[in-house]
Structure 1
Amino acid sequence: MTASMPARLTSPAFSAYVAPARGRAQLWRTLLGVILILGIYAGLLALFLLAIDRWYGPGAERLLQARSPVGTVLVLATFLGMALGPVLAVVILHRRRPLTLIGPLRPALRDFCITAGVVLALSLVWMLLPGGPPLERKLDLGLWFQFLPLALLGILVQTGAEELVFRGYLQQQLAARFATPLAWMVLPSVLFGLLHYDPQTMGGNAWLIVAATALFGLIAADLTARTGTLGAAWGLHLANNAVALLFISAEGPLDGLSLWTYPFSQHDVAAMRPLLLLDMAGLVLIWALARRALRR
């Protein structure tokens, strides 16, 4: 590393977390790692889509919109390829153990549980507050419980895959090479946000979704820098997505496992915008409370 990282943004634990990446931190290795991750993900995704198309025939396209429990679980399962990419990249290109992407396991588990607990507690308070938009029942409770184990496993895979790539592989490798947080904190977060740009689904709110996702990335990157493990970011991500996918969703893709939906779709720009802004404010509050809880 060319210079020491700013102390106010990091911790000795983060320096230890980045240490395994310092031996082979050349940019060409990291770029090849990104290509390898994309190639593995795209290749396995193509095979998965081919298998689904052959199995379900004409109904495959509708199934993959994730408007049903089965479709949502299948879409979440596609992230297994994304999870495999960084694991192989660190082994093949950087000659280090995959568990170094996570950090020390006991502190990581503790950070995971603390942050997930903060998100779930605040989400419960928010759901119980009066005055919100009316909700419509989406899924029968018995069916919801039947799918709950698979749903949680799928969300664990999906959020874990994204964290391994963005707060694990990219943040570690870039922090090992560059001192500035613009490289190892901001750049992966901006990329994370841009990959969620979907004007077909979100219409006029597409760039607001990018901003909200980039903010999430910055918060997850900061928690990783403070704790020196992937646990806090993963716990934040899993609990956040579990609430959005399993409890209250807007009508549209990925609402297939939700107990309730809002009485409007993801295309409704005017109705969605206040909720997105409220979610962003809630993320900042969660970040502040999580940092306080993790310090203890």
Structure 2
Amino acid sequence: MLGLCLIGGVYFLWMVLTGVAIWLVQGLDGFEQSLQRISTGADPWSLILLLSTFLGGWLGVWIAVHLLHRRGLRSLLGRAPKVLRDFTLGVGAMILVGGGLTLAAAPLLPPLEMTPDPGRWLIFLPLALLGILIQTGAEELVFRGYLQSQLAARFGAPVVYLLVPSLLFGFAHFNAATLGDTVWYVFAATALFGLIASDLTQRSGALGLAWGLHFANNVIAILIVSVMGGLGGLALLRAPGGALAESVLRPILLADMVLMVIVWAVCRLWIRRR
């Protein structure tokens, strides 16, 4: 608990410092509006600034493991060659299996609008990919790297160290004010992804596989197709009006959960045979 509080405190301090930097650059005029745009990733720079705030998560975990546990980030991530290999597998599985099934179901989706400036999208793409790499890595470090490993060391019961981080991961994405009646569908989909990531981390012995899945999933949801109405500042394809209707979103979220289970089964099969 002390470790989580320390991570949260460092992350909050990083957010404050980011806000101060924005205030110093822009002044008080429009400061509140800028923060609102950053919180929703409403434009390319706002989205990249939002993703950069997750550096505070990396810093918080690094401080916590050094001060409280006398070990380094490698003990949470795993050996670099294994992390890189598993990360590549996770990205590949999500693109080949998830992307393939998504393309197959594309005719069933409502019409989407392409960004009016694809050239601008390409210019910001490298920074956005780096930002998503930082953001997904920070979340994996906190929930699967730190919290899961500490619970496993303390209790040794899979029902605790697999389920608790997954539920907390789901609640971390719980936003009833923005998501409306779909909030519990989003919670279920996010918690399921957390459970899949936790299981793959346990089975593989490193964070690379879960990180790769998480990275590829967020690239698709943030940079390729944005249908939830948030974090759409750099999406190549967007829902008309910013978000799909809740009646359309619910079956998409259910289909996404089925898709993640299929991707998980493919990854488990690879782990078993390697």
TM-score (norm 2): 0.92
State the 1:54 CA deviation. Answer: 4.0
1:202-221 to 2 correspondence within 5 Å? 202-221=179-198
Whether 1:155 aligns to 2:145 is no
- C-alpha spacing 1:166/1:118, structure 2 compared with 1 (3 Å): same
State the 1:123 CA deviation. Answer: 3.4
1:8 maps to what in 2?
Answer: none
Q: Distance in 1 between matches of 2:59 and 2:101?
A: 35
State the 1:264 CA deviation. Answer: 5.3
2:96 maps to what in 1?
Answer: 121
Q: Distance in 2 between matches of 1:284 and 1:218?
A: 10
> Do 1:76 and 1:158's aligned partners in 2 also have CA atoms closer than 8 Å?
yes
1:88 maps to what in 2?
Answer: 63
The one-letter code sitting in structure 1 at the alignment partner of 2:181 is G
> Do 2:7 and 2:57's aligned partners in 1 also have CA atoms closer than 8 Å?
yes
> Do 1:159 and 1:237's aligned partners in 2 also have CA atoms closer than 8 Å?
yes
Query: Secondary structure at 2:108's aligned position in 1?
Result: coil
Query: Secondary structure at 2:240's aligned position in 1?
Result: strand
1:104 maps to what in 2?
Answer: 79
> Do 1:171 and 1:184's aligned partners in 2 also have CA atoms closer than 8 Å?
yes
Calculate the aligned-residue CA RMSD, in Å: 1.5
The one-letter code sitting in structure 2 at the alignment partner of 1:102 is L
State the 1:205 CA deviation. Answer: 0.8
Gaps of 5+ in 2: none
The one-letter code sitting in structure 2 at the alignment partner of 1:119 is M
Between the two proteins, the alignment pairs up a number of residues equal to 266
> Do 2:227 and 2:244's aligned partners in 1 also have CA atoms closer than 8 Å?
no
Whether 1:182 aligns to 2:159 is yes
> Do 1:264 and 1:271's aligned partners in 2 also have CA atoms closer than 8 Å?
no
Q: Distance in 2 between matches of 1:245 and 1:232?
A: 20
Whether 1:40 aligns to 2:10 is yes
Q: Distance in 2 between matches of 1:181 and 1:143?
A: 46
> Do 1:53 and 1:60's aligned partners in 2 also have CA atoms closer than 8 Å?
no
Question: Can you list the C-alpha shifts for 1:196-236, whole angstroms capped at 9, x where unaligned?
Answer: 11011110111211111110100000000100001011001
Query: Secondary structure at 1:93's aligned position in 2?
Result: helix
Q: Distance in 2 between matches of 1:219 and 1:251?
A: 22
Which of 225-234 and 135-144 deviates more? 135-144
Which of 54-63 and 219-228 deviates more? 54-63
- C-alpha spacing 1:124/1:211, structure 2 compared with 1 (3 Å): closer
Whether 1:75 aligns to 2:50 is yes
Which of 136-145 and 113-122 deviates more? 136-145
Whether 1:136 aligns to 2:106 is no
> Do 1:138 and 1:260's aligned partners in 2 also have CA atoms closer than 8 Å?
yes
- Percent identical among aligned pairs is 47
State the 1:182 CA deviation. Answer: 2.1
> Do 2:76 and 2:145's aligned partners in 1 also have CA atoms closer than 8 Å?
yes
Q: Distance in 2 between matches of 1:289 and 1:139?
A: 37
Gaps of 5+ in 1: 1-30
Which of 245-254 and 158-167 deviates more? 245-254
Q: Distance in 2 between matches of 1:226 and 1:284?
A: 16
The one-letter code sitting in structure 2 at the alignment partner of 1:142 is G
Q: Distance in 1 between matches of 2:19 and 2:159?
A: 36
State the 1:262 CA deviation. Answer: 2.2
> Do 1:193 and 1:210's aligned partners in 2 also have CA atoms closer than 8 Å?
yes
TM-score (norm 1): 0.86
Query: Secondary structure at 2:69's aligned position in 1?
Result: coil
State the 1:252 CA deviation. Answer: 2.1
